[in-house]
Each structure stands twice: as structure tokens, then as C-alpha cells.
Amino acid sequence: MVRKYVIGNPIETDSVVESISPESGALPYFNAYKEQKSLTLNMDKSARVYGLGETVRGINKRGFLYVSNNSDDPFHLEEKVSLYASQNFFLYLGKDMAFGMYVDTPGKVSFDIGFSDINVFSIIFEDFDADIYVIDGESMVDIVRQFRKIIGKSYVPPKWAFGFGQCRWSYMSSKEVKEVADNYDDLDMPIDSIYLDIDYMERYKDFTVDKDRFPDFEEFVKEMKARNIHLIPIIDAGVKIEEGYDVYEEGVKGDYFVKKENGERLVAAVWPGKVHFPDFLKDDAREWFGNKYKVLIDKGIDGFWNDMNEPAIFYTEDHLKEVFEQIEEYKGKNLDIESFFAFKDLVGSIDNYPEDYKRFYHEYKGKRYRHDKVHNLFGYNMTRAAGEAFDRICPDKRILMFSRSSYIGMHRYGGIWCGDNRSWWSHLLLNVQQMPALSMTGFLYSGADIGGFSADVTEDLLMRWTEFGIFTPLFRNHSAKGTRRQEYYRFTDKESFRNILNLRYAFIPYLYSEFMKAVDNNDMLFRPLCFDYAEDEMAVEVEDQLFVGESIMVAPVYKQNASGRYVYLPEDMKLLRFRSYDDYDVEVLDKGNHYVKAALNEVLVFVRKGHAFPIARPANRVGDIDYSGIKYECYECTQSAYKLYDDDGITK
């Protein structure tokens, strides 16, 4: 049962698609304190909290602070309270109560889950206005289902988007992109897409292509398409201010950009230099910007990733002016140490400066809102602009779309990637721990940068990370400019990388099938063990193993130099230890703790009792997977125990 409670005057977010009449009684479970703008709940010692989508730390969110305030922060450290997304749905599991709660408010809101007081869960609002949905149900899975039902169906990408995608910030020319494709094909390694980062554009201008470095782009897209490789360009939120640039000029003419209090357009700076931000919250601006994707769709493009849409701001013209004025004051003076640090801070905190988010306004649903009041809706509405436009431009065809910033509701228009992680072993574990919370909040087509974005990856980290990444719907290897090149063909043990990539393709019939079922049934694709074994005290504490779909459990190795790991089995399972598609060991293991060997090149899959796991002969493209050759690894079951879903993979 879903009950809705209204606090204050909430700003609509369009995240909930069902109309639910509000209750008149008091909010259950939490006490509301109007003065403190907060809700609090005393947690019993054993209470656990799950959800909140993309955040740092473990699967059980208890013991830390999470602030929904979409941030472009490339350092995903344990102490960070905000990442790129606000996905304010959680499950609370106490001793004698369990419920789900969705806190629908577009501004800043903090979830203090035993951080300030180890026994108290407080939700602290910047503005005490929110629609709150309280959900009771029979089980955790049931509560999640009810929540997912009210927010509407998750986005479905084309099936080819389940193939492998190679990305790198610094593919400078079509020649370089072609080399990547050639290397994969020459080494017989599967690949379905190559991503274009900001360098494909002409001076970082959205919906343009650099003519010198990517000459005859349309022909190039066609040539790659003929090889069944999709090119996926990035789109940034800021529009370059440049006379003669059509997107800029149309935006000015149509009054589509965000403005300051005095009515002037906000001037910020991001990669293109000075930019204006489209007011994605405004209907006509959203429609206009969405239609721009057609420029690339007409060139044969069928997928995009939306970046910098928190929005990231390197500086605003106004703040930069203030900074220079203050610097004048320091000039020529003998700085005492305090002034020195103030001076250093002044310059060091120019980018993503919090006050800048109070300098501009949106026109939203017929009203004017200062940006910070609706901040967390910005990336959502950029992606919504694209999604709504795709429905007009190609109503029957699925287009690949995922975004960096998000809010619940955006899951109907695209997936997300988890932003700028690092080539750290701890971030491989973070990737594992982020997936179930993304499943809960409807962001099914998601994944992290495999191998890590910043810092130099090592071959073993990349291999271990890939062994987990082959289970995430978005399966993309991405790295930052200036770091060690991370394409699989650059490493020593190419054969093992080929085998692991092949396993991804062998598992696609299962992954796609489970993905589509999760969409249709509002289920979680990734589940912590305790979602299926709520009463099992051991299962409850496992934070590094996940059920993926109905038939299997994964237990990735995420420690350097480990040749295996401890695994907890909540039930008897059949272990498949893969070195490749046709080279694997099979072993039945009893419920309980086991030390399981896993050499660097081995992938562990645990098949559940009474279930079947379909495996196809690998192919180098998703479209070439031969479904007639599928075999089933069963554990005490018949083939009819598994319902394999498939479709043409491209129509809606």
C-alpha cells in the first residue's frame, strides 16, 4: 500500500506518474519538526537502511550522511556526501517495522542515517516542502515493486547497447576511432559501440562535429554501422556563446536560456568556454533542445550520453569578477596566515561554487524558481528533453541514452553511468555496492566506468573489474585524458580479456531477458542477498555478492593479488568457474561459507537451486548471437524452469 503525505507546498517533479490522493493524518514512522525542517526516527540497534541510488559507501546505508545535492565531484571518497544524483527512495528495516519511503522534493535534502546520532535517522530539508510516499508491503522486493509502479516503467535501450562499449576521453579523430575498431576486430575481441567524448565537437559546441578531425562524419558513421559498430556522442549541458552558432542563436531568439534576477542570461564557463544553460525545466526550451538531437540522428547516430548536467560550472562571469575584486584587496599586502588560507580558498573554490546555483532562475510549470530550489531536476530534464524528442523523431525506435546527473523520474528516459570514479580497487567494490540501489530506484540501464576513469589502471584491476562489469547492463570501459590507455588490446594477457568479453556475449540472452523482466515486473535486476533471505543473519551482512536476475548470484574478486575469496551461500548452489565459454569447472556447494578459488582470469557464477542459466555461443556483435545454440546450465531443474525473453531489440 502506498500512502502519500504532503508537507508544506511541494514543487512538482513529475517523478510519480500515478495520481494518489494525500492522506490527512500524520506521517507514520517519523516525527515531523517544522521548526527544524526535519523528520526523525529512532532506529533500533538492528535496523538497516537500503537505497538512495548512486552514493558512496556500502549497501546498508546506516551510519553515514547522504545529501541529495547533485554535484560534479570527481573524487568519490568515503567522506563524500553528494555525488551526481538524487534518488530519494529508501527502505527501512527495523525490528518490528519495515517500510519504504520516497521523499519527493527537488531541492537539497539530507539523510542523516545515524551519522550525527548513531541511533537516530533524520531527514533534514532546506525547504520543508515535499511529497512523501510511504510504502508498506509483504517483503522488500514487494515494497520496491510498489514504488517502481508509481514512478513508471524504466527506460529500455536497444539490445545492441548490451554489447561492449569502448570509451576514452581523447579520441581525437575519426582515424583514431577507426583504429580502436580495427584493433578489436583484428584481435577477434567483441565490441558493439565506441563512444565519442567532447573531442568530436567543433570547439565543444553541442550538435556540431569537427570537420577537420572528423571529415565526412555521416560517411564515417555509415562505415562503422556497416561493421555493426555504433558511435555514441556525448552532449554537454552548456551551449557555447558564439555569434553565428545556430544553437546559441536559436536559444537567444527563443528565450530558452536560464536568466539571472535582472533578466540577463547567466554566463557560465565550461569546456566550450563561456556558455548559457538551456532552461530544461521550461517546456518550450526542453522541446527545442530535444529536437537538436535530430541533427546527429540524421547523420546515423542512435545513442547519446548526457554530461555536465548537474550542471557543472567551472566559473560564472559574476563570481569570477568578485574573486578578482577580492584579489585586488590582497595584492601588495603582507598576508597573515589566515588571510593566506582565505586567499587560497577564494581561488581554489571557484568551480561548482555553491552560491552560483543561487544566481539564476527557471521558468517551470508557469512559475519562476531560483535554481537551487529545483537544482536536482536539471539533469533529469535535460535527459527528458532528449527522451521526449526521440518519441517524436523516431517513435518506434529505441535510442541509447544515459546521463550523469539524475533524479527519480529520469529513469523513464534513460539510464545513468556513475561518473568519474578512479582506477582503485575500492571503486570496483563501490560499483558492486551501487548497483542494487540503482535497481531499487528504477535506473536499470546503468553501470560505472570499468577499469576506473581517473588514475592509471593496472592489468589485474581491469581484469577483475571487467569480470564484474560483464554483468552490468551498461558495460563500458572508459578512462580520462592523461591516464594510461585502457583499451583491452593494450594489455599483456589479451587472450583472457577476449575470453571474458566473450563471456559477456554468452550471457547476453540471460542478461537481456532478466533486464526486460525487471522492467516489466518492476523488479530489481541486482539484489543484495538479504532481499531474498531476509531472515538469514549471515546473508543480511553480505555486501560484496549480489543476485543478478532470478537464476544466478555473483561474487566478484575485488582485492589485488587475491586468488580467490570467501563466499557466503544462502542456499545450495552450483558454481560455474569460467575461464572461457567452453572451459569451465562445475561444482555443487552447500549452503554456508566457502573459500572459493578464482584465478585472475576466472569468472565465478553461482546458479541457484531449481534454476537454469542460459549460455549462448559468443559472438563479436550482439546481433550475431545465435539463440538456437543456447545451452542451459541447470541446477536440479528442467529447461522449462527458465523463461527466456527476447524480441527484435530495436522497436519500442
Show the binding pattern over residues 473-492: x = contacts ligand MIG (CB under 6 A), - = does not: -----x--------------
| The three cell numbers locating residue 58 | 556500502
Angle between helices 459-469 and 494-521 (to 10 degrees): 30
Query: Smallest gap, in angstroms, from Cβ of residue 216 to ligand MIG?
Result: 24
Q: How far apart are CA 611 and CA 638, in angstroms?
A: 8
Q: Give the residue with the Cβ less far from ligand MIG, 448 or 546.
A: 448
Name the DSSP letter for residue 105: -
- Per the DSSP assignment, residues forming a β-bridge with 89 are 102
C-beta neighbour count of 590 within 10 angstroms: 10
Q: Which is nearer to ligand MIG, 420 or 514 (CB)?
A: 420
CB of 419 to ligand MIG, least distance (A): 5
Taking CB under 6 A as the criterion, which residues in 20-79 touch ligand MIG? none
- Smallest separation (angstroms) from ligand MIG to the CB of 182: 22
Question: Cβ 534 to ligand MIG, closest distance in Å?
Answer: 36
Site for ligand MIG in 177-196 (CB under 6 A): none
Q: How many residues bind ligand MIG (CB under 6 A)?
A: 10
Neighbours of 431 (CB within 10 A): 22
Query: Residue 51, Cβ neighbours under 10 Å: how many?
Result: 27
CA–CA dist 377, 373 (Å, integer)? 9
Minimum CB separation from ligand MIG for residue 503, in Å? 25
CA–CA dist 30, 100 (Å, integer):
12
Residue with the three cell numbers 494525500: 22
**Residues in CB range of 65: below 8 A, 6 or more apart:** 81, 110, 111, 112, 113, 115, 116
To ligand MIG, the closest distance from the beta carbon of 234 in angstroms equals: 6
Task: Collapse the DSSP code of 281 into the 3-class scheme (helix H, G, I; strand E, B; otherwise coil) and give the result.
Answer: coil
- Core vs surface per residue 463-473: b (16+ CB within 10 A) or e: bbbbbbbbbbb
Shortest approach of ligand MIG to residue 512 CB, angstroms? Answer: 25
Does 123 bind ligand MIG (CB under 6 A)? Our answer is no
Query: Of the two residues 197 and 514, which places its CB atom closer to ligand MIG in the complex?
Result: 197
Q: State which residue, 145 or 422, has the beta carbon closest to ligand MIG.
A: 422
Per DSSP, the residues of 300-348 read: T--EEEEESTTT--SEEHHHHHHHHHHHHHHTTS---HHHHHHHHHHHH
Q: Nearer to ligand MIG by C-beta: 373 or 404?
A: 404
The nearest distance, CB 186 to ligand MIG, in angstroms, is 26
Q: Decide: is 169 part of the binding site for ligand MIG (CB under 6 A).
A: yes
**C-beta of residue 601 within 8 angstroms of C-beta of residue 463:** yes
Nearer to ligand MIG, 478 or 611 (CB): 478
Among 104, 127, 192, 197, interactor with ligand MIG by CB under 6 A? 197
Shortest distance, position 469 Cβ to ligand MIG, whole Å:
16
- The reply on whether position 500 binds ligand MIG by CB under 6 A is no
In angstroms, what is the minimal distance from the CB of 360 to ligand MIG?
20
DSSP 119-149: TEEEEEESSS-EEEEEE--SSHHHHHHHHHH
Compare residues 170 and 228 and give the one whose CB is closer to ligand MIG. 170
> Does 198 interact with ligand MIG (rule: CB under 6 A)?
yes
Q: How far is the CB of 61 from ligand MIG (least distance, A)?
A: 24
Q: Decide: is 152 part of the binding site for ligand MIG (CB under 6 A).
A: no
Residue nearer to ligand MIG on the CB measure, 308 or 634: 308
- When the beta carbons of 308 and 607 are compared against ligand MIG, the nearer one is 308
Which of 205, 373, 404, 411 touches ligand MIG by CB under 6 A?
A: 404
User: 331, 215, 311, 217: which is closest to 269 by C-alpha?
Assistant: 311
Nearer to ligand MIG, 421 or 441 (CB): 421
Backbone angles phi, psi at 263, to 5 degrees: 90, -10
Candidate list 163, 419, 469, 556; residue touching ligand MIG; CB under 6 A:
419
233 binds ligand MIG (CB under 6 A): no
- Considering the complex, state which of residue 195 and residue 613 has its C-beta at the smaller distance from ligand MIG: 195
Euclidean distance between CA atoms 615 and 586, whole angstroms: 14
Asked if 307 touches ligand MIG (CB under 6 A), the answer is: yes
205, 243 Cβ separation under 8 angstroms? no
By C-beta, is 419 or 528 nearer to ligand MIG? Answer: 419
Chain residue at closest Cβ approach to ligand MIG: 169
CB of 167 to ligand MIG, least distance (A): 7
Phi-psi category of residue 375: left, alpha or beta, with phi > 0 → left and psi -120 to 50 → alpha:
alpha
Peptide bond into 311 cis (omega under 30): yes
Question: Cβ distance 395 to 299 under 8 Å?
Answer: no
Q: For residue 286, which phi and psi values (nearest 5 degrees)?
A: -65, -40
In whole angstroms, the minimum distance from the beta carbon of 376 to ligand MIG comes to 18
**Which residue's entry shows cell 546555483?**
357
Contact with ligand MIG (CB under 6 A) among 131, 302, 356, 420:
420
Interface residues toward ligand MIG, by CB under 6 A? 169, 197-198, 234, 307-308, 404, 419-420, 478
